[in-house]
Chains A and B, each alone.
Chain A
Amino acid sequence: MKRDFQSFTLYMFGFLLLWEWLRPVEQLTTTDHIEMFVIFILLSFTLAFLRMKWIWQTIIKLWFILFSVNMFHYEEGFFQFSWITFFTDDLTTNFSRIVARNWLGLTNEFRTFLLFILLWLMAYLVHYWLLNRKRIFIFFFMTLIYITVLDTFTLYSAKTAIVRTVIVGFAVLGMLTYYRILARENISGNSFTVRKWIRPLVIMITFSVIVGIISPKFAPIWPDPVPYLKAAGNKGGEDGVGKGVAKVGYGTDDSRLGGSFIGDDSVVFRAEAAEKNYWKVETKDHYTGKGWIPSESTLSRIGGEDLIPVSSIPSNVETRDENASLFMFMDYDHLIYPAGIQRVQFQRNYILEIDSIKEKVSILNGFDSAPIAPDSYSVEYKVPKYQATELRETVAADPNQIDAEFLARYTQLPDNLPDRVKELAESITEKETNWFDKAKAVERHFGGSGFTYSQSDVAVPGENDDYVDQFLFETKIGYCDNFSTSMAVLLRSIGIPTRWVKGYTGGEFLKYSEDDSKQIYEITNNNAHSWVEVYFPNQGWVPFEPTKGFTNSVSIDFTNNDGTTPAVETTAPMAPKPQESLEEDNSKTEKTEQTFSFSNFWLSIKTFFNQEWKWVFVLFVAVIGTTGLMYRLRGKWIPRIYLLQFRLRKRDENIGKAYLILLEQLERYGLKRNEDQTLRNYARYIDTFFASREMSKLTERYEQYLYHQKLPEGSWKDTQELWENLIKKTIA
């Protein structure tokens, strides 16, 4: 009875494990009637459990298979035997197709039949592993791999499947180990031993499953490999990925985005400014599904020194005035300006032509209105400081505040934009109530592990693909255009007005200006960039930076926000070097006045760790890792040091040290000497292992050294040879 119970549980676990293989099949393929297959497995295990004679088992199973095939594929009833002739015909034709390797020509009836046969085999194998071999680890492991692979690469969600498999797998492993031990030690199991074994097993499994379920799970550290694999797989393939459309530097046609971005470090301009900031050139408002185009163009001209009517910051936003000088290296007839531009000063008298939709400012010659590219100019601009509380005030588009036409323009989307874009936007922002938090949530979404910044291998959307949809759901690899366009489209899909901004990032810090009041940055074609601006009725256009690895230094004050985030979020500049060195300089001058205080010191350590904790952590892990590795591989490199040492110091007495090193090394190698084992005995063991006589020879000499305190003169030469040979054997 007990034995029956044992095999019953084993069969049950076997069934559950095998069932896991069928569950995804239902979800991922077009296979119907999966329950019949499950019943078939159940039937196989039941018959095996009942220990029915194999002939009866075969008959019953065959009958079941035929019955199922009939049920799935034939209209006639099972007992109208005419279908059998069809089926046998089908079998013969399919067999000939198999021989001809015409896999696609196989009929559904035959596939069903094959699946049954496969399950039959698997059920038999599981039965064999469980009851005869008493080992199931490989099958269990394969099941886990199967589930995780499906979970990674398909829509199948293995959340509960993993838990089920782990419980069943460990339970069955534990049971089998128990029975194996019983068999090996020749113990007859009784209820006492069973309880003794099962109790800790159950406790352990329950404990680990509970811990596994309730413990917090970190987001994956590595980016999702699937987009990579897909991108690699599609490279040069159909989807038009990676072909054509490559961009260099700043271009004006954005109607077809995508393709690789080719780096180019030719200098565009140098800027002398108080701090690092983004430089705008133009914005675009109409998303076509493939790229951006301006919806219309309204041109107006103003005098060269007049107030420039773009990027106006509402008067209720706190601002400070700044100015900067630009020295152009490339001939561009459009103005490159920071957000909040007020005025420009040229060396000569020019007039400006402004496109109010694109916010593009062209520079024209004063007399003939021909486009001209000035060598340098300086700009006056306002730097806004936004209040988070005010930004959060906007929760919906209020018709009193936003003009309907304006709203329609900046929430425009192509008709064929897939619905899942909007669904994604809603799911990202479902916890947020106001526009600002929603925009931040979307911005954060791109910072997640799913997305990868890359300038190469970026897909070009095919004829029926949407640029944003492709990036968000399929490739997840891209550069600024992908990120910024996607953010703009996501926000538009939930009714938040956005526009797409092009320009340059802050560039590379070069040096301080002569009077040290300004910093000089160099902006190259590599710094060409695009980002997003979101419109808040009470705050104007506020820039956001969705691109992974980039930060725009927009200052937003969170202090008034019920004290939860009591700090001004001044997003760190991209290249922190200049500011740091500036701070350093400041602190140097301060230090001369200040006496050293421990708390300051402590604070600086703390801030250092706060800022650099990633590097500290990486360094720490690297040091630990290297040390561990060195220790792990000590058998490989320590002997080499001694090899060298003994080559340099030729003394007969070296054998004393050398032999002990060899003993240690052999032990590391896995040839352990028991404490009571004599050297001679051990040497014979080593020699049998290496099929040589060197250890015995060496040991004889060492015995002379150790037990006789005498050594033949000049014996080190042979000794060294023997010793080196042995050591080398252990390193190899």
Chain B
Amino acid sequence: MALENMNPIIEKILLNIEKVMIGKRNVAELSLIALLAEGHVLLEDVPGVGKTMMVRALAKSVNANFRRIQFTPDLLPSDVTGISIYNPKEMEFQFRPGPLMGNIILADEINRTSPKTQSALLEGMEEASVTIDGVTHRLEKPFFVMATQNPIEYEGTYPLPEAQLDRFLLKMKMGYPEVDEEIEVLNRAQKVPPIEDLHPVVDLEGLQSLQKEIKEVYVDQTIKRYIVDIVNLTRKFHSVYLGASPRGSIALMKAAQAYAFMYGRDYVIPDDIQYLAPFVLSHRIILKSEAKFEGLTAEEIVNRVIARIPVPVQRLVK
């Protein structure tokens, strides 16, 4: 995008992340979009491709505290949210916050834990608060969860129900680095990991004001119409069992706002929508089993839908 001037703060954050993450600029961008749009990310990938490193770099850049939860089958909801423990000295129950009480949380291998624990996390993501023993605890702001899912092992996993997948703003894959990039990874592995030297670019307040600005990014009626047309067609598309919900439309718009802001625009253009739609919509679509057998994927369906919706090129006739 030669013509676009990136928002300077965001560009700095991305550069920061790039210091520790080689390549994968689009993953970093998308994660940042989710953070800025106050959404959450589901990363579907094998272990060891640098997910943690990226999230930590992101957290450090915005001066947020970073927590990591490794999900295991025996993890309990209270291990995530926190628990009230009786303090004999004070003679009362005292709340010990769990790892969810951070700004940026990496929920590793979320599909390994029991649905009960999963839902505790998802509730927190959705409501931005947790209720323990009748007391509602507000979660910190900003609150950003990056959950990972391991697609390799199916034994002993509890796949997230589709309804709950809806809670994630974006779903993406990280993928392996290119050969050159991987060599560079090896080079860096010989030195001290640079993550320790990263300096924050903005503080949390700055981040929150960015989030506020993004809400102001203009979305024209034509663009809203375009979003709705796309989402609508996912519902009508043959070989789709269940299309994207209105929440999907909202998610697409929010993500597009963040993306436009990232590229220094205060309005959304169809290019934003086209770029983001596969990440926003593919996990909200349930394919018919015939389509699955045919080898169709949800991303492909979304791309086909986009190809069939004409881009708005003139003002709506009022």
Contact = CB atoms under 8 A, between A and B. Distances in A.
A710 B217 CA distance: 13
B312 interface: yes
B314 A706 contact: yes
Interface in B40-95: none
B316 to A, nearest CB: 10
Interface string B249-272: 000000000000000001111110
A660 interface: yes
A681 B270 CA distance: 10
Given A676-B307, A678-B274, A681-B271, A708 B315 contact: no
A680 B315 contact: no
Given A704-B267, A707-B269, A708-B266, A677 B311 contact: yes
Contacts of A656: 314-315
B271 A708 contact: no
A680 B315 CA distance: 16
Contacts, number: 55
Contacts of A677: 311
Interface in B1-19: 2-3
Contact of B309 (A676, A703, A707, A708): A676
Residue in B274, B309, B310, B311 whose Cβ sees the most chain A Cβ within 10 Å: B311
B168 to A, nearest CB: 26
A604 B294 CA distance: 74
A38 B307 CA distance: 60
Interface string A686-716: 0000000000110010011011111000000
Given A675-B310, A675-B311, A707 B3 contact: no
A245 interface: no
B266 A676 contact: no
A511 to B, nearest CB: 66
Contacts of B307: 676
A710 to B, nearest CB: 8
- The prevalent SS among residues of A at the interface is helix
A696 B3 contact: yes
Contacts of B223: 707
Contact of B222 (A681, A697, A706): A706
Contact of B314 (A660, A675, A703, A708): A660
A16 interface: no
A681 B311 CA distance: 11
Interface in B207-244: 218, 220, 222-223
B313 interface: yes
A678 B270 contact: yes
A679 B270 CA distance: 8
Q: Which of A675, A704, A708, A710 has the most chain B CB atoms closer than 10 A to its own CB?
A: A708
B263 to A, nearest CB: 11
Between B223, B269, B312, the greatest number of chain A beta carbons within 10 A of the residue's beta carbon is seen for: B269
A209 interface: no
A701 to B, nearest CB: 11
B308 interface: yes
A512 B63 CA distance: 111
Contact of A707 (B222, B274, B306, B308): B222
A679 B314 contact: no
Nearest to A687: B2
A663 interface: yes
A700 B266 contact: no
Nearest to B267: A708
A704 B223 CA distance: 12
Interface in A417-452: none
> Majority SS of interface residues in chain B?
loop
Given A707-B267, A708-B266, A709-B220, A676 B315 contact: no
Contact of A679 (B308, B313, B315): B313
B220 A708 contact: yes
Interface residues of A, number: 20
A710 B315 CA distance: 12
Interface in A646-690: 656, 660, 663, 675-681
Contact of B308 (A676, A700, A703, A708): A676
A493 to B, nearest CB: 78
B315 A678 contact: no
A707 B268 contact: yes
A700 B3 CA distance: 9
A678 B314 contact: no
Interface in A552-587: none
A708 B270 CA distance: 12
B271 A663 contact: no
A447 B268 CA distance: 75
B220 A706 contact: yes
A656 B266 CA distance: 20
Nearest to A696: B3
Contacts of B267: 703-704, 707-708, 710
B135 to A, nearest CB: 46
B311 A679 contact: yes
A696 B315 CA distance: 19
A677 B274 CA distance: 10
B157 to A, nearest CB: 37
A553 B40 CA distance: 101
A677 B307 CA distance: 8
A17 to B, nearest CB: 47
A706 B313 contact: yes
Interface in A260-276: none
Interface in B269-318: 269-271, 274, 306-315
A678 B269 contact: yes
B117 to A, nearest CB: 42
Contacts of A709: 218, 220
A547 B97 CA distance: 117
A676 B306 CA distance: 7
A704 B310 CA distance: 19
Nearest to B306: A676
A566 B309 CA distance: 70
A454 to B, nearest CB: 60
Nearest to A699: B3
Given A681-B271, A696-B3, A700-B3, A706 B315 contact: yes
B264 to A, nearest CB: 12
A603 B266 CA distance: 73
Contacts of B218: 707-709
A359 B267 CA distance: 102
A379 to B, nearest CB: 82
A589 B312 CA distance: 68
Given A656-B314, A676-B309, A706-B222, 15 more contacts: A656-B315, A660-B314, A677-B311, A678-B274, A679-B269, A679-B311, A679-B313, A681-B271, A696-B3, A697-B3, A700-B3, A703-B267, A707-B269, A707-B270, A710-B267
14 contacts: A663-B313, A675-B311, A676-B311, A679-B270, A679-B313, A696-B3, A703-B267, A703-B269, A706-B314, A706-B315, A707-B220, A707-B268, A707-B269, A709-B220
Shortest Cβ-Cβ A-B pairs, 9 listed:
A708-B267, A675-B310, A678-B271, A707-B220, A678-B270, A676-B307, A707-B267, A680-B271, A678-B311
